[in-house]
Amino acid sequence: MNSKLIEALKLQMQPVAILLTDDKPEDGLHFKEGNMFGCVASMLVASSKKSRPAYFDRKTFGCPGGGVGLGFGNAYGQFPIECLLSTGNKEMAAMMGSNGGMMEEGERFYKNPEKAQKWVDSLPITEVPTKYVVFKPWETVTEEDEPEMLVFFVNADQLSALVVMADYNRGTNQSVTAPFGAACQSILFGLEEVKKENPRSIIGFFDISKRSIVERETLTFTVPFGMFKEMESHVDGSFLQMHMWEKIQERQ
C-alpha cells in the first residue's frame, strides 16, 4: 500500500505490520517447536530487512518474554523472570547448563527481584483470540489485510516526526507512551492500546540486551493501525510538507 506518511519519513528500514490471524503465511519465517531461545525481536528485524513475513503460535514463540510480548498469555509461567531481570539465580543457572550464563548474575535491569516482579505484575498480559501472530513487511501489506498495529524502525529525527504527528489532530499531549519492556513487548503494549477509544503509540526497543541487533540510533515506534490511518489522513498540510522538515531531511 502507498503511504504519504511513510514516504515523508524516508525510512532506512521498512515498517512491519502485526496481524492476528488463523492463517499462516506459506513462506513465513518461524521458530521450530521447542526452541525456547528464539528471539521475537530478532525476527521482527529480520522481517523488515529481508522483506519476509514471520509467524508465531503458542508452541513456537521462542523465549518466554516473546510469548508474553506476542499476547500468548503469561508465558513466563514458573520461569524466574524476576531473577533474570535483577540479581540472578545461581541454582537456576546451574540447571540451565550452558544456557544459564546470564541467569547467574542477572541482567540488573531492576535493583532486586521484588522490583522486577512489580514490573511483571504491571504488564497488560493478554491472550490473543487467534492461532497466529504474523509479522508482515509494509511493502507486502495489501488492502485486504487488517493489521492490529504497525512497527516503525526510526532514528531520532523520524521518531520526532512521529511523536508530533501522533498528537497533530488531538492536541492532548497524551498520544505517546514509552514503557520499559523486552524489545518485542511494545507489541503487547500495542495490543492493550488497540482496545482504547483514543489509543497511544509506543516508543520502544529500550531492552539493553537486544540493542545490538539494531543500529545505534534506532528505536521503534509502534502505532495501532487505526491511529496510523488517522495520522496518514492528516499528512497534507502538516509540518511534513514544510521547509523545516525538508531541511532536516537533507542530513539523512
Q: In what order do the strands lie in the sheet with 54-56?
A: 54-56, 132-137, 16-21, 149-154, 219-224, 201-204, 176-177
Q: Is the confidence at residue 34, as pLDDT, over 90?
A: no
Give the residue carrying C-alpha cell 520502544: 204
**pTM recorded for the entire structure:** 0.94
Q: What is the pLDDT of residue 234?
A: 97
For residue range 183-200, list pLDDT tens digits in order.
999 999 999 999 999 999
Residue 95: pLDDT band with limits 50, 70, 90: low
- pLDDT tens for 152-185 read 999 999 999 999 999 999 999 999 999 999 999 9
pLDDT at 13: 97
Give 94's pLDDT tier (boundaries 50, 70, 90): low
| Model pLDDT, residue 20 | 98
Which of 79, 101, 82 minimizes the C-alpha distance to 90? Answer: 101
Grid coordinates of 186: 511494545
Q: 62 near 31, Cβ under 8 Å?
A: yes
Is 104 a residue whose pLDDT tops 90? no
Backbone angles phi, psi at 106, to 5 degrees: 80, 165
Query: Can you tell me the distance from the alpha carbon of 183 to that of 164, in angstroms, rounded to the nearest whole number?
Result: 23
Percent of the chain with pLDDT over 90: 87
pLDDT value at 97 more than 70: no
pLDDT given for residue 99 in this prediction: 60
d(CA 222, CA 204): 8
Say what the pLDDT of residue 124 is. 98
Is the pLDDT at 98 greater than 70, yes or no? no
For residue 79, the model assigns a pLDDT of: 87
pLDDT averaged over every residue in the chain: 94
Answer whether residue 96 shows pLDDT above 80: no
Q: Mapped to the 3 state alphabet, what secondary structure does the chain carry?
A: CCCHHHHHHCCCCCCEEEEEECCCCCCCECCCCCCCCCCHHHHHHHHHHHCCCEEECCCCCCCHHHHHHCCECCCCCCCCHHHHCCCCCHHHHHHHHHHCHHHHHCCCCCCCHHHHHHHHHHCCCCECCCCEEEEEEHHHCCCCCCCCEEEEEECHHHHHHHHHHHCCCCCCCCCEECCCCCCCCHHHHHHHHHCCCCCCEEEECCCHHHHHHCCCCCEEEEEEHHHHHHHHHCCCCCHHHCHHHHHHHCCC
At 100 the pLDDT is 63
